[in-house]
C-alpha cells in the first residue's frame, strides 16, 4: 500500500483525478471502477473539466460502480445512477452504454448481482477501482463482517451507514435499508485500487484502515492485502497516521511520483 498525503482536500482530489487521467490516456479502453459519496464530487468535477479543456477522452472507457441502493429508480435523485449521471456521465464524452451500476430495482436481486459480476468479467476485469471510505470503514457498502471473498450481493446497511448518508435524503427514514454492492473479493480483484479520503472526520478510520489490523469488521483494512493500492488523503484525514513522515518522504522523493508533484 502507498499513502500519499496532500496539503488540502482540493490537492488530494486533484491528484486522484490526475492519476485517473494518466491511466485513461495510457489505455483509452480502461475499465474504471467508480465510487459515489461527497468525497468524489470534486474528483468528477476535475475530470469533467479535463474532458472539456484537455481532451481527456472517455469515449472508449467502460465503468462499473461499486454499489446502488435497493428500491430506488435511476431517476430518483438519491440513487447512485442519478448521482453518476449528474456528476460525471452527463459531463464527459462517455457512451452511456459503457456505464454500469447494479440495478436496485431488479425483480430478482440475486440474479442481478450475478449478472453484474459476469459483466465485469466479460469486460476483462476492473483495471482501476476508485474508492471512498465510510466513517465505519466500509468500501462500497461492505458493512461490518463482510467476507474477504464476498462478491456482488445484497447487503443490509448498518445503522451508522444509514445515519451517515441521511443528510443526503429529505428524511432519515428515507435511507434504504439495503443495497447491492460489489463484494470485498470483487474489489480486491481490481488490478489497481485508489482510495481517496479527506477531512478530519475520516482521520480515525483512515489510520485504522491503513495501519491497523486486518479485520472483516472494517472492510477497508482488506486493502492491505492488495498488491497495488494507493491511498490519497489530505492533511486532516492523515492526522492519526503514525507513518506520516515516511509517506511524505516517498511522495517527495520517489521517481514514480515525479510527474505528479
Ligand atoms: C457511501 C458509499 C461509499 C462511500 C461512502 C463515503 O456509503 N457507498 O462508497 O465511500 O458513502 O461517503 P462520503 O464521501 O460522502 O464520505
- Domains of the chain from N-terminus onward: 2-254 (3.40.50.1360)
133 C-beta closer than 6 A to ligand 1:
yes
pLDDT at 86: 98
Q: Is the Cβ–Cβ distance between 69 and 141 less than 8 Å?
A: no
Distance 11 CA to ligand 1 centre (A): 19
Distance 125 CA to ligand 1 centre (A): 23
CA-only gyration radius of the chain, Å = 17
The 3-class secondary structure across the chain, one letter per residue, is CEEEEECCHHHHHHHHHHHHHHHHHHCCCCEEEECCCHHHHHHHHHHHHHHHHCCCCCCCCEEEECEEECCCCCCCCCCHHHHHHHHCHHHCCCCHHHEECCCCCCCCHHHHHHHHHHHHHHCCCCCEEEECCCCCCCCCCCCCCCCCCCCCEEEECCHHHHHHHHHHCCCHHHCCCEEEECCHHHHHCCCEEEEEECCHHHHHHHHHHHHCCCECCEHHHHHHHCCCEEEEEECCCCCCCCCHHHHHHHHHHCHHHHHHC
pLDDT at 63: 99
| Mutation to probe ligand 1, out of 9, 138, 143, 198 (largest number of atoms < 8 A from CB) | 138
| Mutation to probe ligand 1, out of 102, 132, 137 (largest number of atoms < 8 A from CB) | 132
Ligand 1 atom nearest residue 161's Cα: 7
Ligand 1 atom nearest residue 132's Cα: 10
pLDDT at 74: 95
38 C-beta closer than 6 A to ligand 1:
yes
137 C-beta closer than 6 A to ligand 1:
no
Closest C-alpha residue for ligand 1 atom 5: 134
Closest C-alpha residue for ligand 1 atom 8: 140
Query: 109-142: string of b/e by CB count within 10 Å (b at 16+)?
Result: beebbeebbeebeebeebbbbbbbbbebbbbbbb
Has this prediction a pTM greater than 0.95? yes
Ligand 1 atom nearest residue 168's Cα: 15
The grid coordinates of residue 212 equal 491497523
Distance 30 CA to ligand 1 centre (A): 23
CA end-to-end span of the chain, whole Å?
A: 19
Q: Is the Cβ–Cβ distance between 120 and 126 less than 8 Å?
A: yes
Distance 89 CA to ligand 1 centre (A): 18
Distance 254 CA to ligand 1 centre (A): 31
Distance 99 CA to ligand 1 centre (A): 19
Q: Is the Cβ–Cβ distance between 64 and 103 less than 8 Å?
A: no
**Cell 435523485 appears where?**
77
**Cell 506520516 appears where?**
244
- Residues paired with residue 69 on neighbouring β-strands, in sequence order: 179
134 C-beta closer than 6 A to ligand 1:
yes
143 C-beta closer than 6 A to ligand 1:
no
Tens place of pLDDT for every residue, the chain, 261 residues?
999 999 999 999 999 999 999 999 999 999 999 999 999 999 999 999 999 999 999 999 999 999 999 999 999 999 999 999 999 999 999 999 999 999 999 999 999 999 999 999 999 999 999 999 998 999 999 999 999 999 999 999 999 999 999 999 999 999 999 999 999 999 999 999 999 999 999 999 999 999 999 999 999 999 999 999 999 999 999 999 999 999 999 999 999 999 999
**Cell 479502453 appears where?**
29
Amino acid at each position: 500500500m502507498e499513502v500519499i498525503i496532500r496539503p488540502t482536500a482540493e490537492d488530494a482530489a486533484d491528484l486522484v483525478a490526475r492519476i485517473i487521467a494518466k491511466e485513461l490516456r495510457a489505455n483509452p479502453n480502461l475499465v474504471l471502477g467508480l465510487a459515489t459519496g461527497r468525497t468524489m464530487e470534486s474528483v468528477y468535477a476535475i475530470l469533467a473539466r479535463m474532458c472539456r479543456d484537455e481532451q481527456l477522452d472517455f469515449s472508449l472507457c467502460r465503468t462499473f460502480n461499486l454499489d446502488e441502493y435497493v428500491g430506488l429508480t435511476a431517476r430518483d435523485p438519491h440513487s447512485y445512477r442519478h448521482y453518476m449521471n449528474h456528476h460525471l456521465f452527463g459531463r464527459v464524452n462517455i457512451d452511456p452504454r459503457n456505464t454500469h451500476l447494479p440495478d436496485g430495482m431488479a425483480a430478482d436481486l440475486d440474479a442481478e448481482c450475478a449478472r453484474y459480476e459476469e459483466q465485469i468479467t466479460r469486460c476483462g476485469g476492473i483495471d482501476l477501482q476508485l474508492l471512498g471510505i465510510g466513517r465505519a470503514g466500509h468500501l462500497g457498502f461492505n458493512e461490518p463482517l463482510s467476507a474477504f471473498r464476498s462478491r456482488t450481493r445484497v447487503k443490509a446497511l448498518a445503522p451508522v451507514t444509514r445515519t451517515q448518508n441521511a443528510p443526503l435524503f429529505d428524511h432519515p427514514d428515507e435511507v434504504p435499508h439495503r443495497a447491492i454492492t460489489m463484494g470485498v473479493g470483487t474489489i480486491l480483484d481490481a488490478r489497481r485500487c485508489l482510495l481517496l479520503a479527506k477531512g478530519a472526520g475520516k482521520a480515525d478510520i483512515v489510520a485504522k484502515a491503513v495501519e491497523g489490523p486486518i479485520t472483516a469488521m472494517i472492510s477497508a483494512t482488506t486493502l492491505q492485502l492488495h498488491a497495488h493500492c494507493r491511498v490519497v488523503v489530505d492533511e486532516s484525514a492523515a492526522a492519526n497516521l503514525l507513518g506520516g513522515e515516511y509517506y511524505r518522504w516517498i511522495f517527495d522523493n520517489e521517481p514514480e511520483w515525479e510527474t505528479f508533484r
